[in-house]
Amino acid sequence: MQENIMNAFTEQAKSFYSPLNKLSALMVENMEKMTEFQLESIKSYADITMSQMKKAIDVKDVESLRSFSTSQAEAASTVNKKIMEDAKSLSDLATDFKDKVEAIWEEAKPTSKPAEKKATKAA
């Protein structure tokens, strides 16, 4: 009898902690993805900035200033495009995370609800 109680307790603990373990693993995975995304974004924006700074140093006359102004417009366009791509990537990461969390919760739901059990007993 005591063994049956312990086995039931063990099974309940497994069913309770399993979704929590999955959520924890998902959180760590998501944090890794977000960190990687942020590091890549910082590097790309820093590369654009450094490139423009180097071009600014080369401004010596009117022609080089004109060339620099053109490159500034191109850089602004590149940054704008990058911001849009980053926003889409973040949105995709968030949607993927939400879908996985919902799947874990759906999987963790009990197969029958207590209200259904009561209704069955009453009938």
Residue 59 burial (10 A CB sphere; 0-12, 13-18, 19+): middle
What angle, 0 to 180 degrees and rounded to 10, lies between the N-to-C axes of helices 2-57 and 62-108? 170
* 8 A C-beta contact, residue 47 and residue 122: no
Whether 63 is covered by a domain: the verdict is yes
Whether 76 is covered by a domain: the verdict is yes
Whether 54 is covered by a domain: the verdict is yes
33-84 pLDDT, tens per residue? Answer: 999 999 999 999 999 999 999 999 999 999 999 999 999 999 999 999 999 9
Structural domain of 29: 2-100
The two three-digit tokens of residue 34, written as one number:
């977000």
Whether 36 is covered by a domain: the verdict is yes
79-121 pLDDT, tens per residue? Answer: 999 999 999 999 999 999 999 999 998 888 876 555 555 555 5
Whether 75 is covered by a domain: the verdict is yes
Whether 111 is covered by a domain: the verdict is no
Write down the pTM of the prediction.
0.70
Whether 67 is covered by a domain: the verdict is yes
The two three-digit tokens of residue 110, written as one number:
């009990």
Side-chain-side CA neighbours of residue 82 (13 Å): 17
> What is the pLDDT at residue 114?
53
Does 12 score more than 90 pLDDT?
Answer: no
Whether 78 is covered by a domain: the verdict is yes
Total number of domains in the chain: 1
> What is the pLDDT at residue 2?
76
